[in-house]
Amino acid sequence: MHNKTFVAVAVGLGLVALPALTGCGSSNGGGSADSRTVTLVSHDSWAVSKSVQKDFEKQSGYKLRVLNDGDAGQAVNKAILTKDHPQGDVFFGVDNTLLSRALDNGLFQSYRPKGSDLVLPQYRVDQDKHRVTPIDTGDICVNYDKAYFDQHKLTPPKSFADLAEPAYKNLLVTENAATSSPGLGFLLGSAAQYGDGGWQGYWKKLKDNGVKVVDGWEQAYSQEFSGSSGGRKAGGDRPLVVSYASSPPAEVIYAKKRPSTAPTGVSYGTCFRQTEYAGLLSNAGNTKGGKAFLDFLLTKEFQDDMPLNMFVYPVREGAQVPPDFVKYGPQAKSPETMAPEKIAAHRDQWVKSWTSLVLK
Sketch out the chain's domains with CATH numbers: 10-137+275-328 (3.40.190.10), 139-273+338-358 (3.40.190.10)
Q: Which of 11, 96, 47 is nearest to 306 (CA)?
A: 47
Q: Report the pLDDT value the prediction gives residue 111, as an integer from 0 to 100.
A: 98
pTM of the model: 0.83
Q: Report the pLDDT value the prediction gives residue 13, as an integer from 0 to 100.
A: 27
β strands within the chain, DSSP E: 10-11, 14-15, 37-42, 63-68, 90-95, 108-109, 133-145, 172-175, 212-214, 240-244, 264-281, 313-314
Q: Report the pLDDT value the prediction gives residue 23, as an integer from 0 to 100.
A: 36
Mode of pairing for the β-strands spanning 90-95 and 108-109: unpaired
Q: Report the pLDDT value the prediction gives residue 30, as an integer from 0 to 100.
A: 53
Q: 300 by DSSP, 3-state: which?
A: helix
Q: Report the pLDDT value the prediction gives residue 179, as an integer from 0 to 100.
A: 86
Q: Report the pLDDT value the prediction gives residue 33, as an integer from 0 to 100.
A: 55
Q: Report the pLDDT value the prediction gives residue 31, as an integer from 0 to 100.
A: 56
- Tell me the C-alpha distance between 274 and 277, whole Å: 10
* pLDDT tens, per residue, the chain with 360 residues: 333 222 222 323 233 333 333 333 333 445 555 689 999 999 888 999 999 999 999 999 999 999 997 777 788 889 999 999 999 999 999 999 999 999 999 999 999 999 999 999 999 999 999 999 999 999 999 999 999 999 999 999 999 999 999 999 999 999 999 988 899 999 999 999 999 999 999 999 999 999 999 998 999 999 999 999 999 989 999 999 999 999 999 999 888 888 888 999 999 999 999 999 999 999 999 999 999 999 999 999 999 999 999 999 999 999 999 898 889 989 999 999 998 889 999 999 999 999 999 998
